[in-house]
Amino acid sequence: MKAYHPFATTLIAGLSIMQPLSFAAAEDNQPVKISSPQAVHGTQSVVIGAFNIGFIFQSVDNTKATGGMIGAFGGTTKAKSVLEGVTPAMMQAITDAAYADFKAKLEAKGFTVADSAPMFSSAAFARVKPVASPYDANVQLDKKSTGKSSYYKPGAIPGLVMLPGDVAPSGFSGLGMSMSAGNTQYGMSQHAKATGQAVIDVVYLIDFSDAKKPGAFSFGGGIKVTSGMSVVDDFSKLNLVTPEGKTATITLKQPVAVEGDFAQMQDTTKGAGVQKAMNILGGFAAMRGMGGMKFGKAKTFTFTARPGIYEEGAIKAATLANARLVDQLAALR
């Protein structure tokens, strides 16, 4: 997954009651980054036009093929992680629960939350084409990591739509959604202008493992993969489209992670014996000063979700992310 996520770290104490941040939160060491915070001022009535949760079910993490001694003695240079045992019903239940919590938190902070159905049937949304839920997309997690994910919408929202930047597609995946996102943003803006209700768009990306990459001098290291649960930073955010046609964005800059035994992890690499021999050969070649023999070790890890526990962890991570974003939104109002 995303290499620098502390997915399996201890949950930060008091995360759910974190004090709202000022605009200085744009700094990298802050939990969120805010764009156009002044657009939120005075917001009272809102419509939740989109609340999409993406579930990563496969990822490939790469680091430079080290070969030599690191490749020979345990350095993993390519790690493929696969999630199994999570059903569509489980992901839908997580999404519905997270949405209900988000709406309740908005109302608890004094926002008036209007029904989204009138927006989807309005003239402003005539050119908007929602996609079927779930929506599958390949995502570029960072320069060396890619993932496959499925995005779900809550049953209470009529269609699955996204705004520009909600998905970071890998290759041609997601390009259709990216092209239609402009129409969605225009439709939300027009509806906000006509009704005086700001439109909220939320997108979360949930990860199930943590892949840490080594530093430049990590001898015998390589990618370390462990189990975990988090709402991914950078790919998880809230957009607020205002009646004035402006858009404020609050982006998570730190992952929202929870600890737990959410999935059973197994090394399911095929042909491990052959690859080990190749890596050892590369190691001896390196010791003898022979160049050009770099056999990176590729591994596959399969995570089998624990029913009940997986959903509980995902809902917990999403509700903590809700608290972080809603608290900030209320503070900017």
The stretches of 80-146 forming alpha helices (DSSP H) are: 88-108, 117-120
Q: How confident is the model at residue 63 (pLDDT cuts 50, 70, 90)?
A: low
pLDDT at 221 exceeding the cut of 50:
no
What pLDDT does 28 receive? 56
Average pLDDT value over all residues in the chain: 78
Model confidence pLDDT, tens digit, residues 184-197: 999 999 999 999 99
Could you tell me which residues come within 8 angstroms of residue 186 by beta carbon, excluding any fewer than 6 positions away?
Answer: 127
The reported pTM is 0.78
Q: What radius of gyration, in Å, describes the C-alpha atoms of the chain?
A: 22
Least Cα distance to 263 among 306, 308, 300 occurs for 306
Question: By mean pLDDT, which of 19-23, 170-174, 197-201, 266-270 is the weakest?
Answer: 19-23
What pLDDT does 239 receive? 98
What pLDDT does 330 receive? 97
What pLDDT does 274 receive? 44
pLDDT at 260 exceeding the cut of 80:
yes
The stretches of the chain forming alpha helices (DSSP H) are: 68-72, 88-108, 117-120, 175-195, 272-287, 309-332
Over residues 153-176, mean pLDDT: 83
* Cβ atoms 98, 48 nearer than 8 A: no
pLDDT at 332 exceeding the cut of 50:
yes
Q: Tell me the sheet residues that pair with 166.
A: none
Q: How confident is the model at residue 61 (pLDDT cuts 50, 70, 90)?
A: confident
290 HSE (CA, 13 A, CB side): 9
* Cβ atoms 167, 174 nearer than 8 A: yes
Q: How confident is the model at residue 226 (pLDDT cuts 50, 70, 90)?
A: low
Q: What percent of the chain shows pLDDT beyond 70?
A: 71
Name the phi and psi angles at 307, rounded to 5.
Answer: -55, 140
Q: How far is CA 232 from CA 47, 105, 156, in A?
A: 24, 21, 24
With H, G, I as helix, E, B as strand and everything else as coil, classify residue 34: strand
SS3 string, 225-238, reads EEEEEEECCCCCEE
Q: Which of 66-80, 212-226, 267-281 has the highest mean pLDDT?
A: 267-281
Which is more confidently placed, 69 or 318? Answer: 318
Q: Is 14 left (phi over 0), alpha (psi -120 to 50) or beta?
A: left
pLDDT at 172 exceeding the cut of 80:
no
Identity (one letter) of the amino acid at 315? Answer: I
Chain Cα centroid distance, residue 76: 24
pLDDT at 5 exceeding the cut of 60:
no
Burial class (CB in 10 A: 0-12, 13-18, 19+), 322: buried
Q: Is 204 left (phi over 0), alpha (psi -120 to 50) or beta?
A: beta
| Encoded tokens for 110 | 């004094």
Which is more confidently placed, 133 or 261? Answer: 133
What pLDDT does 210 receive? 59
Q: Tell me the sheet residues that pair with 323.
A: none
Model confidence pLDDT, tens digit, residues 123-160: 999 999 999 999 998 888 777 778 889 999 999 999 99
Over residues 26-52, mean pLDDT: 90
Q: How confident is the model at residue 299 (pLDDT cuts 50, 70, 90)?
A: confident
